[in-house]
Structure 1
Amino acid sequence: MSNKINDELNKIKIPKELHERSKRGVRKAKLENQKRRIKNPVIAVAMVGVLMFGASSISPAFASTLQSIPIIGSIFGTVGDIGLKEADKSGLSQITNETFSVGESSFMIREAIYDGSRLSLGFIITNYSNELPFKKAAYKIDEMNFYGGASSQGEFINDKDYAGIISFIVPNELKRDSFNFSISFDEFNGKKGNWNLNIPVTKIEGESFLVMDEATSKDYKIKMKKVTFTSATTEINFDLTEPINAEELNQIIRFRLYDDQGNVVKELSAGGGGCSDCENIDGKITLDTSVQYEPLKHIPDYLIIEPYISSTSENIAELRMEIPLKESE
């Protein structure tokens, strides 16, 4: 059953009008998607009081079902990665409680966290039928079609109810401090229909540093632009020039990150978009790329980025860079 979540998310629709360059630019980090049952019922507590906040928008049947659902604290605190857990612990998650019901099954977007790049939504599905509704959904940021990459993780709360998180990477051209994220479903739990959820989103605060360093190898070039620290992530933003057929050649690169003490900073997700004035120059394309890593408790004096070939884990020594953190934006 765990592979089904990943399969469903990989089928999320990308608008037909999306330019081919942007399709090439969209990259999804293949994070480990987990779907497991909560193993320690002693530490599980009912979310009745918390979930009933804003209960006027919740159907009576769903409200009744929620009373029997045990979950540990918030969804982010239960099944989120380290960044989401830290942001939730700091009280930065936004309660949404957007929901709809179809027969005996209901779907709720419980909470949201947006760090300026990654938008994460905590959701609950009651009477889960082993088919996530996301693959046939359409997404918008305000009035603009959304096409970022997505990943998820989750847990069964009991035999039939599921709590999970779906995270989207917001393309740089759609990033803003606040927006309305809308999701439209035309199928849920095997039934056709039209259900719409609207989620107001506000970016959590962070500190950004402008970076001008760059490095070049035979096939690649990295031009650093910005490093941003929030309670949820550490984000590196840069222009990546690579062969236009890098994916076909199995030469996609990824990026290890270390702090100034040599500690590994774990990657959480990544995404990129095309650059209209530098597409297909001498057989190469430049992608406006952002990579998100776990949050750091303290801002270091510098970071070290170490690019490597994803398929072989081979380092590209010429691209290794020490990124100084001096000029705050």
Structure 2
Amino acid sequence: MKKPFNENSTLPEFPRDEVRTAIANGIKQAEEQKNMTQKPVQIKRKSKRKPLLYVASAAAAFSIMVGSAAYVSPTFASTLSQLPIVGSVFSNSGYLGLKQASEQGLTSTIGEKHTINGISVTIDEVLYDASNITVGLTIDSEKKLGDYYLGAGPNFTINGKNPKVSSGGYGEKVLSSTVRTGIARFEVKEDMPDSFEMGLTLEGKEGEKWEFSVPVKKITNTIDVPVNHQQQAEGIQLDVSKISLSPSGIALDYKASEKGTIDNSQVGASFIEFRITDQNGKEITSHSGGGEGHFDNGEWNFSSTKSFDPISSNVQKLMITPYLVIPSGGGGVHVDIAGVETKIPFNKPCVKEVKFQPFTVELPKQNK
């Protein structure tokens, strides 16, 4: 039985090496079983060119980032504020995909805990799916904690190296003045490996630094559905390449381009979102997602993976409607190579509404 977050007993030292070995052995065993029944997965490699990264949350916050960083998502903060006090961070997150993945054993249970200055941070669970790496954590302190004591949440590394670019969200649920839970999301890029050693670093307001290293592996029970839909609207070229279906949700991959100038990335193509409904008109909850973009030969090119709730097995087709979410507020942070952060003020973009055409995707028999 899981112990309460605020139990005052003295816990034994966390057996980090034993837990990491057990997780690594489990991943190795799963890989061997997979290789007996499936062909190896080929990973698409993107250009080594470092793109200019933008991040836009569902709550219409906008930022531009270079390097590795994270931003606080109002969507996460709002959802996590409804968490119950007891239970698994994922199971009680308010996100159907996280709850379903956790209950089906698709997440990696970590349980690694470090304490600095009387503040304990525990990495509880990790899920690596087609669109995000999601980390559930708990914070238990001997003293009262201020709001967002850990700032914008953890940064992460891949096999000890910083990713070229990263974006994501972080939100906390305050359970008491000394205990809270948090969920961090890092969006998956095309050139990320299917398994790797993930490093996590969190920094407190008083200079504390919590560091973790855990093995993670992308879930394999995912169905890729080719879409290959293209359309033009008001100078925007949109290309939806595929959607991926898994117990943790729907991932929609797209690219969009639009002519512009290098000093203004806030063109319509940077604000694209999608509404998905099933054959009965029921809307599938969207969790938005950030993305990346670069300017080349007079044109802005953006790409992203948008995430949605999972769907039931009786869904036969999906109606997808692109639209623009033009932010009315927000901001961001720029992180240079040395890790120095500079706040980016919000400037309301001058973008007009665009009418896209909805399109239908027939789902394969495996999902029926």
Same fold (TM over 0.5): yes
Matched residues in 2 for 1:37 and 1:233: separation? 20
Partner SS for 1:133: coil
Q: Give TM-score scaled by structure 2 length.
A: 0.65
> In the alignment, is residue 154 of structure 1 matched against residue 172 of structure 2?
yes
Q: CA deviation at 1:207?
A: 0.9
Letter in 2 for 1:191: G
Structure 1 residue runs of 5 or longer lacking an equivalent are: 1-17, 40-70
For residues 314 and 132 of structure 2, the distance between their equivalents in structure 1, rounded to whole angstroms, comes to 20
* 1:125-204 superposed matches below 5 A: 125-127=139-141, 129-130=145-146, 131-135=148-152, 138-146=155-163, 147-174=165-192, 176-185=193-202, 187-192=203-208, 195-204=210-219
Contact 1:95–1:112 under 8 Å retained in 2: yes
1:322 and 2:352 correspond: no
Give me the whole-angstrom Cα distance separating, in 1, the residues matched to 2:314 and 2:199.
34
Question: How far does residue 145 in structure 1 lie from its aligned partner after superposition?
Answer: 1.5
**In 2 relative to 1, CA 317–191 (structure 1 residues): closer, same or farther, beyond 3 Å?**
closer
2:320 matched to which residue of 1?
Answer: 305
Q: Does structure 2 conserve the Cα–Cα contact (< 8 Å) formed by 1:235 and 1:293? A: yes
| Partner SS for 1:269 | coil
The one-letter amino acid paired with 1:247 is Q
Matched, 1:102 2:121: no
Give the Cα separation in 2 of the matches to 1:122 and 1:251. Answer: 29
Q: Which of 289, 297, 300 is the equivalent residue of 2:304?
A: 289
Count residues in correspondence. Answer: 272
Decide whether the 8 Å contact of 2:168 with 2:290 is kept in 1. no
Measured in 1, the distance between the counterparts of 2:277 and 2:130 equals 22
1:252 to 261, 268, 271: 271
Q: 1:132 to 1:81 in 2, by over 3 A?
A: farther
2:280 maps to 1:261: yes
Q: Going by fraction, where is helix more abundant, 1 or 2?
A: 1
Deviation at 1:246, TM superposition (A): 5.4
Counterpart residue number, 2:245:
229
When the two chains are superposed, the root-mean-square deviation of aligned CA atoms in Å is: 3.1
Q: Does 2:229 match 1:213?
A: yes
* Corresponding residue of 1:56: none
Structure 1 residue 190 displacement after superposition: 0.6
Q: Which ranges of structure 2 fall in alignment gaps of 5 or more residues?
A: 1-47, 60-74, 328-350
Secondary structure of 2:239 counterpart: strand
For residues 263 and 89 of structure 1, do their structure 2 counterparts lie closer, same or farther at Cα, with a shift above 3 Å needed? Answer: same
Q: Which residue of 2 aligns with 1:47?
A: none
Normalised TM-score (structure 1)? 0.72
Conserved 8 A contact 1:234-1:293: yes
> What residue number does 1:61 align with?
none
**Equivalent residues of 1:79, 1:153 under 8 A apart:** no
